[in-house]
Amino acid sequence: MPDSLEEAIFRLDAAVTRAETAFANRPPAPPKPAPTESTDPVDPDLPARHAKLRAGTEAALAKLDTLIAAERG
């Protein structure tokens, strides 16, 4: 047989009270670690490698454009 409305409200209130108590008694959050310096080495050749990669990509795209134009005729 289903609970009466009064019993359902009582059980809901008890559940909320238990949840509030558990929340109030939870352990404190651990402190956040301090930020650290990056351990990645600085790559002095990165700009040159980037430029070379970009030039190669642009050349490949130009070649594809040429092939597509030749295909379309």
CA 12 – CA 14 distance, rounded (Å): 5
Whether residue 34 lies inside any domain: the answer is no
Whether residue 4 lies inside any domain: the answer is no
**pTM exceeds 0.85 for this model:** no
The H-assigned helical ranges of 1-73 are: 5-24, 46-72
Whether residue 7 lies inside any domain: the answer is no
Whether residue 73 lies inside any domain: the answer is yes
What's the Cα-to-Cα distance from 10 to each of 3, 14, 21, 53, rounded to whole Å? 10, 6, 16, 69
pLDDT in tens, 1-48: 467 888 888 889 999 999 999 999 999 988 888 888 777 777 888 889
User: For the CA atoms of 19, 24, 26, 27, what is the dihedral angle to 10 degrees?
Assistant: 180
Q: Are 3 and 11 in contact (CB under 8 A)?
A: yes
Q: Which domain holds residue 58?
A: 44-73
